[in-house]
């Protein structure tokens, strides 16, 4: 382990959002560090940080700056040296990072699927026309409308608990959440119905945690190296390269999922228009050693076909 010795409480400071799910994910990283290096829990402090994305819940993300609003304040604290590491949901990370920061590891990924949350409806393809479904995700909105253009989609923002509360209050008959987020939060119950990826491809890097550090902090980088899961890293690299090449942000409906088998990766990606009337979905396979090249190649193929069908 490079750098100064660990001597007492709070030697390592992990920054994270303050939501229930974010704190659980930071605790996962703390446990992995403790196990990998024989540390005491007290040597690792979890520092909750409120982000603009958490404060401004009244408007859709694309109106106030996009996914990076969940990372900006945390990355500022990291750059300033007030924390040593930052734990994020990788799907919330912009495709381009700030100068001087780097994703040092991606631990083993969880279940990447979306889930339909409803007491009345169990099958995404069998929801009756006119049903009110709550989601503020442009991807999920487009995918739902592609499956059934007669659904009524209403805005649902907030953390997992907030969206489940809105559902219980009757603001909608169903909502969409990530399977792994529900499981990590301890909120999975009989209302959760996982959606096959054949119906809805997830957001690129959904269910993956990443740990960000300063590029010149060799001590932190060395500590995090054993936590990296090679297959999860390769899969997410392919998916995020697909996203980046399409210049995707929270206003662009994009889904992607890479599956690793031995030394091969199968990457499936899709691009939709906001109303779900046009969807292009494609699959590519290649070497696990070149995941970003696969992502870029598939994005170019999908975008070319999308433009052709759109007449542009």
151-194 pLDDT per residue, tens: 999 988 778 888 899 999 999 999 999 999 999 999 999 999 99
State the Cα angle at 74 between 1 and 48, rounded to 5°.
85
Which helix (H) or strand (E) segment holds residue 23: the answer is helix 20-37
Q: Who's near 76: CB < 8 A, 6+ residues apart?
A: none
Assess contact for 2 and 218: CB atoms under 8 A. yes
CA distances from 32 to 13, 38, 39, 220, 226 (A): 14, 10, 10, 14, 9
Residue pointed to by tokens 């649902």: 156
pLDDT number for residue 10? 61
CATH class of the domain comprising 12-107+208-228: alpha beta
Q: Which of 167, 239, 251, 187 is nearest to 210 (CA)?
A: 239
pLDDT number for residue 36? 97
Angstrom distance (rounded) from CA 212 to CA 219: 13
217-233 pLDDT per residue, tens: 999 999 999 999 999 99
Residue percentage of the chain with pLDDT more than 90? 79
Q: pLDDT at residue 8 above 60?
A: no
Assess contact for 195 and 124: CB atoms under 8 A. yes
pLDDT number for residue 53? 56
The band of 67, judged by pLDDT with boundaries at 50, 70 and 90, is low
Give the domain ranges of the chain: 12-107+208-228, 114-194, 239-310
Q: Pick the catalytic residue from 84, 92, 114, 217.
A: 92
Q: pLDDT at residue 96 above 90?
A: no
**CATH annotation of 114-194:** 3.40.190.10
Angstrom distance (rounded) from CA 255 to CA 272: 9
pLDDT number for residue 50? 82
> In the annotation, is 114 catalytic?
no
Angstrom distance (rounded) from CA 90 to CA 103: 9
Angstrom distance (rounded) from CA 22 to CA 230: 23
Q: pLDDT at residue 249 above 70?
A: no
pLDDT number for residue 4? 43
DSSP-derived secondary structure for 205-267: TTT-EEEEEETT-HHHHHHHGGG--HHHHHHHHHHHHHHHHTT--TTS-EEEEEEEETTEEEE
Mean pLDDT, residues 34-46? 95
Pairing of strands 192-194, 254-261: unpaired
| 12-107+208-228 and 114-194 share one fold | yes
DSSP three-state, residue 51: coil
Is CATH 3.30.160.40 correct for 239-310?
yes
């Amino acid at each position: 382990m490079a750098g100064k010795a660990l001597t007492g409480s709070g030697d390592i400071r992990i920054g994270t959002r303050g939501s229930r799910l974010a704190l659980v994910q930071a605790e996962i990283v703390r446990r992995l560090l403790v196990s990998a290096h024989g540390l005491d829990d007290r040597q690792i402090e979890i520092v909750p940080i409120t982000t603009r994305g958490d404060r401004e819940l009244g408007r859709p993300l694309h109106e106030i700056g996009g996914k990076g609003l969940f990372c900006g304040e945390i990355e500022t604290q990291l750059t300033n040296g007030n924390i040593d590491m930052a734990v994020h949901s990788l799907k919330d990370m912009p495709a381009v990072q700030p100068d001087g920061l780097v994703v040092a590891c991606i631990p083993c990924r969880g279940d990447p699927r979306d889930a339909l949350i409803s007491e009345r409806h169990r099958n995404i393809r069998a929801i009756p026309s006119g049903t009110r479904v709550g989601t503020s995700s442009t991807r999920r909105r487009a995918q739902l409308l592609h499956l059934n253009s007669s659904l009524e989609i209403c805005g649902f923002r907030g953390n997992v608990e907030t969206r489940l509360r809105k559902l219980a209050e009757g603001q909608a008959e169903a909502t969409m959440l990530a399977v792994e987020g529900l499981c990590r939060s301890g909120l999975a119950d009989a209302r959760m119905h996982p959606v096959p990826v054949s119906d809805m491809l997830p957001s690129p890097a959904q269910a993956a945690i990443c740990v960000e550090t300063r590029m010149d902090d060799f001590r932190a980088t060395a500590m995090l190296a054993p936590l990296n899961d090679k297959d999860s890293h390769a899969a997410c690299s392919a998916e995020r390269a697909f996203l980046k090449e399409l210049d995707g942000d929270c206003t662009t409906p994009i889904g992607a999922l890479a599956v690793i088998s031995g030394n091969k990766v199968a990457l499936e990606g899709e691009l939709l228009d906001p109303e779900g009337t046009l969807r292009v979905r494609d699959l590519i396979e290649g070497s696990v050693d070149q995941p970003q090249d696969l992502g870029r190649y598939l994005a170019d193929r999908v975008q070319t076909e999308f433009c052709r069908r759109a007449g542009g």
